[in-house]
Structure 1
């Protein structure tokens, strides 16, 4: 019934619940998840900044981590343009059966952008649209705490790693209610996702 589920994400807190919901649906129907993030442009000109594209890639990576953890096939894409237009175009081009997205973000700007895009998708999409309201409170708000949790998770998963030798590659950053902490040991680099709601840590990728 549902073979392809699209989860648009902008990296705001308001998309976290929609990611969880979308992964659950895909698991139930053995569907493929499509994680899509848009670097927005609008009638007033481009909203793109130096940080916008990397943030979009981090946002879809967060969906991919959750999908892969659940054993669900996932495809990721980052596009540039007017958000609701790009989402609808992607849905049409990839034969999407369902769209799952948040109704609002936590901050004032997120609330306006996420809410207005979702409203347009609901009105204009040719496929079912499941909207998910953001309700949870962020618990891990401090970057230092996220870094500490990430280091403990890395040591727990890599017993040979020297805790004193772990260094940070960059400052932790938060997207979709998850801190992403990039760390390096003597033998590898690791990207650890720390759930800002629960404090759960996941080693997402190693090189």
Structure 2
């Protein structure tokens, strides 16, 4: 019934649950996951900054990593434009069967924009839209705490907790991604911002 499931993401905390639901649906129907992030431009004003595009790529890469960890095929895309228009165009161009997206983004202006984007997609799309409300509370919202927890996870795996950082911590969809360069090669630690649980991956596996 569903072969291609689209999960739009801006990497904000509000996408944590929509990603989880999107992956669950894709797993149930053995569907391909599409992760799309749109750097907003257009009549609402250009929100792009030097960090916006790299952040969008990190957001879709996170969805791809979660999908592959669950044995699902995934493709990613980053577009620039009016968010709801880009999402609807992607749906048409890629034969999307279902869209799973959150109703809240970050605080302030972003929350207004994300809510508005979801409303427009629901109203204008010709495919089923599953909307997910943010109900989780992110407990770990401090970058230093995220790094401390990641270093404890290293120590649990008998890796020197003083190992230097190569990237991060970056907060993506309610999780922190912290990357280290160890003697055995690159290690990435994912710290769940809600539960505090950690996952350690070596060489991208």
Scaled by the length of structure 2, the TM-score of the pair is 0.92
TM-score normalised to structure 1 length: 0.91
2: CA distance between counterparts of 1:150 and 1:168? 11
The answer for unaligned runs of 5 or more in structure 2 is: none
Structure 2 CA distance for aligned equivalents of residues 62 and 156 of structure 1: 24
Contact 1:32 1:72 in 2 (8 A): yes
Q: Contact between 1:168 and 1:182, CA under 8 Å: does it hold in 2? A: yes
Give the Cα–Cα distance (whole angstroms) in 1 for the partners of residues 38 and 56 of structure 2: 7
> Which residue is 1:78 aligned to?
78
Counterpart CA distance in 2 for 1:70 and 1:108 is 33
Residue 109 of structure 1: how far off its partner (Å): 2.1
CA distance, structure 1, for counterparts of residue 200 and residue 80 of structure 2: 29
Partners of 2:125 and 2:117 in 1: CA distance: 12
**What does 1:51-200 align with in structure 2 at a 5 Å threshold?**
51-157=51-157, 159=158, 161-164=159-162, 166-200=163-197
Cα offsets for 1:38-74 (capped at 9, x unmatched)? 1110125432100001100111111112211211111
Structure 1: where are the runs of 5+ without partners?
Answer: none
Q: Cα 1:205–1:55, aligned 2, differ >3 Å: closer, same or farther?
A: farther
User: RMSD in angstroms over aligned alpha carbons?
Assistant: 1.7
Number of equivalent positions: 204
